Amino acid sequence: MHLSTLFLTFLSLSPTLSQPTSPISVTQLFNFSTSTDIENGAIDPVTNTMLITTFTDARLYALDLNDPYPTANLLTSFYPNATAITGIAPIGHGKYAITGGVRGSYHYYNETIYTIDFGAFAANITASPVTKAVAHLPQAIMLNGLASLPRRPTTVLAADSRVGCIFRIDTLTGTSDIVIQSDALSAPANGSSEIGINGLKTHGEYAYYTNTALKTFGRVKITDDGIAVPGKDGKVEVEVLATLDSGLEKYQWDDFDFDEEGTVYVAMGGPNGSAIGTISPDGDVEVLFTKVVRGPTSVHVVEKEGMRKKLYITTNSGGGQVVEAVL
């Protein structure tokens, strides 16, 4: 493990950089000694344990964020039924849903929704969970981001980057359907990336997403059951809230998270740069910092009363990093 800490102060850069009131501390908490492609993560609020999904033999790891020098504890591998696991979302206390499949060239096979249940170990997520395949999606091509419904957490929404749609899956029954399929969620045929909708989160009355190829951040209004709400014309509308332009075109948006004020913290990677950015509720896009993170793939916000806000970031380079930023 290599531990590096950087205290960042900000000069005037183009494009606009956000101006924190205190220096941001960015620390690499952990990186794998052999190349591991971390895709996403979830932080258990009870144990402060971070679960991370990988493209490396579909392995699921846990890191104890209470430890200043955490190690990655291998919980389980979904191999050979899946060679990569992507999205992860909580569906109950000590229970999570995970998307996984056999990875091809922008085309996955055996796309499946799994559940993991820590059961009696939920208060100390270090033991191997009970793993179950609950739904197969034969029409899916490349499942990516995953989000549970706030009022129906056992129902999850899954982004398909190649179909350009959002699936809805009941993890109790295994039934699934398509909430919305749209060009706004797809990758254009002549685009620089073949990945359309990528990150996915539910927040309030909406499902929010990033589109890597179109460099857009948007939302779709949904019901408590995860059904897309049509507009006055009877059609479901995809609302684009922000785009990567004005000097930020070199980046590609990945997974993201909200803070309590509604600001979005988003991984900005791609072949030409690495950064963590913010999207304001008004749609203003800013670069927060560019150091330490190498190929960021997801951001997770932790806020506790009386403490500075923290971001936990996963990456697919630098061995595969877990980085902490104290704002």
Q: Which CATH superfamily is 40-303 part of?
A: TolB, C-terminal domain (2.120.10.30)
* pLDDT tens-digit profile, the chain (327 residues): 443 444 333 333 344 454 456 789 999 999 999 999 999 999 999 899 999 999 999 999 999 999 999 999 999 999 999 999 999 999 999 999 999 999 998 899 999 999 999 876 566 666 789 999 999 999 999 999 999 999 999 999 999 999 999 999 999 999 999 999 999 999 998 888 999 999 999 999 999 999 999 999 999 999 999 999 998 899 999 999 999 988 899 999 999 999 999 999 999 998 889 999 999 999 999 999 999 999 999 999 999 999 999 999 999 999 999 999 999
pLDDT of residue 191: 80
Task: List strands edge to edge, sheet with 5-8.
Answer: 5-8, 24-31, 321-326, 310-315, 296-302
pLDDT of residue 216: 98
**Cα–Cα distance measured from residue 103 to residue 84, given in angstroms and rounded to the nearest whole number:** 6
pLDDT of residue 177: 98
**Cα–Cα distance measured from residue 253 to residue 265, given in angstroms and rounded to the nearest whole number:** 11
pLDDT of residue 270: 87
- DSSP string spanning 114-163? EEEE-GGGTTSTTSPPEEEEEEE-TT-S-EEEEEE-SS-TTEEEEEETTT
**Cα–Cα distance measured from residue 92 to residue 108, given in angstroms and rounded to the nearest whole number:** 27
Report yes or no on whether pTM surpasses 0.75: yes
pLDDT of residue 10: 34
**Cα–Cα distance measured from residue 257 to residue 272, given in angstroms and rounded to the nearest whole number:** 23
**Cα–Cα distance measured from residue 165 to residue 197, given in angstroms and rounded to the nearest whole number:** 8
pLDDT of residue 8: 39
pLDDT of residue 190: 84
pLDDT of residue 120: 60
**Cα–Cα distance measured from residue 218 to residue 140, given in angstroms and rounded to the nearest whole number:** 22
Tokens of 293: 């993170």
pLDDT of residue 12: 33
